[in-house]
Chains A and B, each alone.
Chain A
Amino acid sequence: MKSHRVVVPAIVALSLLAGCGGGEQVSTDPNAKVTLTFTAYGGAGQQAMIDSYQKPYTAAHPNVTFVNTSPPDVSQVKAQVMSKSVKWDLVSVAPGVATQNCDKLFEPVDTTGIDPANLVEGTLGKCYVGNFINANPIAYRTEAFPDPAKAPKTVQDFFDLQKFPGQRGILSNIQNGILEFPLLADGVAPKDMYPLDVDRSLKKLDTIRDKTTFAPNVGALQQAVGAKQVDIFILPDSRLVPLMNDGTDITVVWDVTVAAMNGFAIPKGSPHAAAAKEFLKTLCGPEQVAGISEALGTQPVNKAAKPTLSANAQKVQAFGPANKGEVLMQDIDWYAQNFDGASAKLTNWLVG
């Protein structure tokens, strides 16, 4: 039985190695050198955040530097928190999810010193700081409905297959209005949207299901629009702008536009939580907000921000003069309380 004496401890040791990590010293000195791990969706969005958040912050606080990673899966946060080895310090997250898991998966944030006067409602949460707003207007490829007199003009038109045939494109992601638009089309006024009737919404979605491409992520729907796979669609502003920049002729239907706050949060147990909290306070400053809007075409959370927008970004400016309709902001508190139930219902409806 000699060999077992070697084998068993070896296996145990290796297994332990696999399960361990972290254990970093937590420093309380505000001037100590820290490197914050910043997790967002990669691509142009993250580059804009590096330029507008990280570089100015490091210039002002030379002891704070950043490493960037992606994608910001909440399941990763959960796994890190569960295994007590938190690697991320800042993570892009839907405010509803941050609020729902406040103090469980995410650290409460510190908002002292932030002037809320110019901030859009919902920018400051208990466990997140909002950094930009994605507006998700209904839009169509202009060549699919070339005659403006016969083109879709309302949310109802999106759901009217008789008058406006053509392939629909919707993101299956709950943050992009998949549950709100059907109710708007069904006659629910924006102010009466919440508490949201998920069953009624799915019933309305049933009416266009066969003519709708449900894309699992924004990249897939953006690709589908560019490749003329869908005619009329609901895509966020930050994806409409690159499509238009690439030469796709897009007309936005300014009726009701569903918009959602995006935010950043700190995973619970982050070894650099103190430094991360200080950094989060800067995300909704006017220069930072303007920088992100200019780079991505998203809507600012700070009304004092004065971004210089490109011509295409102006076309999707939900809070600007282009929008002749109204904006419905997703209710963060409703989603914080109902995210799991609504997601499960939606998922079950989709895959069924």
Chain B
Amino acid sequence: MTTTRTAGRVPWARWLVRGLSIVACIVLWQLASGLHLSLGFVTFRNVPPPTEVLQSAIVLLKSPKLLAHVGSSLWRVFAGYGAAVLLGIGFGFAIGRSRAASDLLLPPLELLRPIPAVAWIPLSILIFPSSEMSMIFITFIGALFPIILNTVHGVANIDRRLVASARSLGGTPAAILREIVLPGAAPSIVTGLAIGMGTSWFCLVTAEMISGQFGIGYYTWEAYTLQNYADIIVGMLVIGLLGMGSSWLLTTLGHYLMPWRQPAVAR
């Protein structure tokens, strides 16, 4: 590439290359599945070609099932992730600001943290009578730890000269929490929210495959058991789109809430 870099604007030639790269991937996929490519350790014999996947996607788009699946997945993420955000930021603030809270809360959290959220699935099915609740719980657990840890990190690493300045300017403890600690920890909290969002979706899809009746993870797994192979890939693409959408939402929220941070330079 010999195009000159201009701040903020990417030249059309680079967009062309980016677009061609995606087209090339789809063409390779089409060739591999069309030719039933088999390399011994991996085979494309059962992989549906893009054309077939497109047809299945159109069918799903037109059916009312899409709304039911996507709707119930979104609801579970909203509930589980939302609870994790409230609890995680609350715990994170307490642990980061108070030694007593840190001694009280941190040991059990440190013990539970290394357990992958997916490993909670059997126990949560036993604990919660409704499978709906158990799936929300898994989503919650997945997001909780990254949010807590990043909040603690952000809160504990506030420059103490900023807090001292605020106190010398007449700031009360409550005002310092609101005006100094919260915005000071915000970049770290948003990082935790983004990581938590990723693990949340990951956990949800897994939980739905095991115990769901609706939801996009369930749809994908059901497609496999019913041998609708094209639907598997449609499900995967929808999961990808939902993940992309929610992380876009968080990035936008971050920019909106933290205007003092320089926007990242496009590369």
Is the pairing of A and B real? no
Where the two chains meet, the residues of B that have a C-beta atom closer than 8 Å to any C-beta of A are none
